[in-house]
Structure 1
Amino acid sequence: MKRIISLCLASLLLLLGGCATVVSSNVTAFNEWPADLPNKSFVFEHSEAQNNDLEYRNYEGLVRTELQRLGFVQQDGGAAQLKVALKYDISARDVHVVEPVVADPMWYGPYGWGRPGFYGPGFYGPRFNDPFYNPFWYGPQVIGQREYDFQLFLRRLNVTITRAAGGQKLYDVSVSSEGKIGSLPAVMPYLVRSAFTDFPGKSGVPHVVKLKVEDQQ
């Protein structure tokens, strides 16, 4: 029994581990991006408090890197043609899971196919292939259930780009990602990259961006 439960737990951990290899984000961008915008100079628009917020400045740096990758140039002062602003948050919800524990008849234990130790001496032979004697003949059997609790975190990012003169909004992207990592700094690089994937993209068309995690999920 312990071996079967261990196998089920191992499968669950592999499944969760697979989910932990990527950050999957729901992205929706609205834009009225000009077909030709020769001057891509920008400046960040933030409050004085945000300017003194080290976490906020770190996320600005991530956005700056993506914008520069796309050909934008930061130009502080009144000469910049565009203004960039960002906001973000994180929230948590509790999840309670009840799932069956299943014995797999195809697992080959020390006593043959099925649960370790289930089959006693003399079990093999004609009776092994007889569904009347073999309770696993018809496939996996539910032998119990297990319960566990965990938290899921919803991480959100919004970035807007507007014209410095007149305030016309050109790009407004929202990114949301739910996962088991509650550290916003750990996932923010992937949220920012997702915000500018296929920039500027089709306006108002939601899509999913999956990015492989380099260090951790």
Structure 2
Amino acid sequence: MSRKNIEFSALRRSLRLAAIPLVLASLAACTPSLTANVKRFQSQLPAPAGQTFAVVADDPALAGGLEFAQYARLVEAQMSRLGYTPASAETANLLVRFDYGVDRGRERIRTTGVGFRDPFWGGWGGWGGWGGWGGWGGWGHPRFGPWGGWGFGWNDPWLGGGIDSYTVFTSGIEMKIERRADNARLFEGRAEAVSTSNRLPYLVPSLVEAMFTNFPGRSGETVRITVAPEKKKG
């Protein structure tokens, strides 16, 4: 090997070693926002004036739980902001049925990626028909998926190809509004997101915020809504 080639190889090794902490630092500093797919349908949803509502658990297993009560208050606050008045489930004009969950996550490992890809702007999928959702399964949820095309990483010539290893979680909420007097369905909405967080205290408020952005939306339209990133402790 010529002296020139030896010097070039040494330079390559030096740059490769120098690139690793820089890439890791850039990934650590990146805190993506949560981007949710929101799909909503409505039929004769009444104007807020004079209308009362109550938020109830769509899944009977959640009824009466402290966790559900915490998230139900978020929905109640949004409905109140719109002008609806809270009431008891026995007297309210409208019943707002609410459900939420996050799946158990899927490990993603890629070695052929090209360039940095934000996992929250990949190909969306997994939206099924209404009524196709199964049970939450405790903290996990099998109804979400399958998702394809998600991943982030880098493809650096000094690192010898793309490198990623991470877990992604699919979270979602579902909201239905019914007229209590005759059980007529007036609104159906669902928000889903894929993220590297499985923390329901962050995910559910973010998904509720997405659900009520430009509420009630255009019936049958799916929109993509981005909310604030998760705040890291420390």
TM-score (norm 1): 0.71
Q: Which runs of 5+ in 1 are unaligned?
A: 103-139
* Amino acid of the structure 1 residue aligned with 2:81: R
Matched, 1:29 2:45: no
Q: How does 1:10-21 map to 2 (within 5 A)?
A: 10-11=22-23, 13-14=25-26, 17-18=29-30, 20-21=31-32
Q: Deviations over 1:110-162 (max 9, x none)?
A: xxxxxxxxxxxxxxxxxxxxxxxxxxxxxx85562364421000001101111
In the alignment, which residue of structure 2 is the partner of 1:42? 53
Paired residue for 1:72?
Answer: 84
Determine if contact 2:55/2:75 at 8 Å carries over to the other structure: no
Given candidates 110, 116, 126, the residue that maps to 1:97 is 110
What TM-score, normalized to structure 2?
A: 0.66
* Residue 37 of structure 1: how far off its partner (Å): 5.0
Gap change, CA 1:57 and 1:77, over 3 Å in 2: closer
195, 199, 205: which one aligns with 2:215: 199
Residue 138 (structure 2) aligns with: none
Please say if residues 25 and 208 of structure 1, whose CA atoms lie closer than 8 Å, have aligned partners that are also in contact: yes
The one-letter amino acid paired with 1:161 is I
Number of aligned residue pairs = 179
Classify 1:5/1:67 alpha carbon distance in 2 versus 1 (closer, same or farther; 3 Å): farther
Aligned match for 2:201, one of 178, 185, 191: 185
Map 1:71-150 to 2 at 5 A: 71-91=83-103, 92-99=105-112, 141=157, 144-145=160-161, 147-150=163-166
Structure 2 gaps, min length 5? 1-12, 116-155
Task: Tell me which protein shows more strand as a share of its residues.
Answer: 1
- CA shift at 1:67, angstroms? 1.1
Tell me if the contact between 2:202 and 2:230 (Cα under 8 Å) persists in the aligned partners: no
On the 8 A contact 2:94/2:180 being kept in 1, the answer is: yes
By how many angstroms is 1:36 displaced? 4.0
Return the alpha-carbon distance in structure 1 between the equivalents of residues 96 and 113 of structure 2.
50
- Counterpart position of 1:58: 70
Post-superposition Cα deviations, 1:146-185, rounded to whole Å, max 9, x if no partner, equal: 6442100000110111111111111111000101011122
- Aligned-partner Cα distance in 2 for 1:56–1:78: 19
AA in 2 matched with 1:206: T
| Higher Rg | 1
Letter in 2 for 1:44: V
C-alpha contact 1:40 1:73 (8 A) present in aligned 2: yes
- What percent identity do the matched residue pairs reach? 22
Query: What is the DSSP-based 3-state SS (H/G/I as helix, E as strand, rest coil) of the residue aligned with 2:111?
Result: strand
Higher normalized contact order (CA 8 Å, seq sep 6+, divided by chain length): 1
Pairing partner for 1:4 from 4, 9, 16: 16
- What secondary structure is seen at the aligned counterpart in 1 of 2:88? coil
Alignment root-mean-square deviation, CA? 2.8
Q: 2:181 aligns with which of 165, 178, 181?
A: 165
Separation (CA, whole Å) in 2 of partners of 1:6 and 1:184:
38
Change (3 A) 1:194 1:6: farther
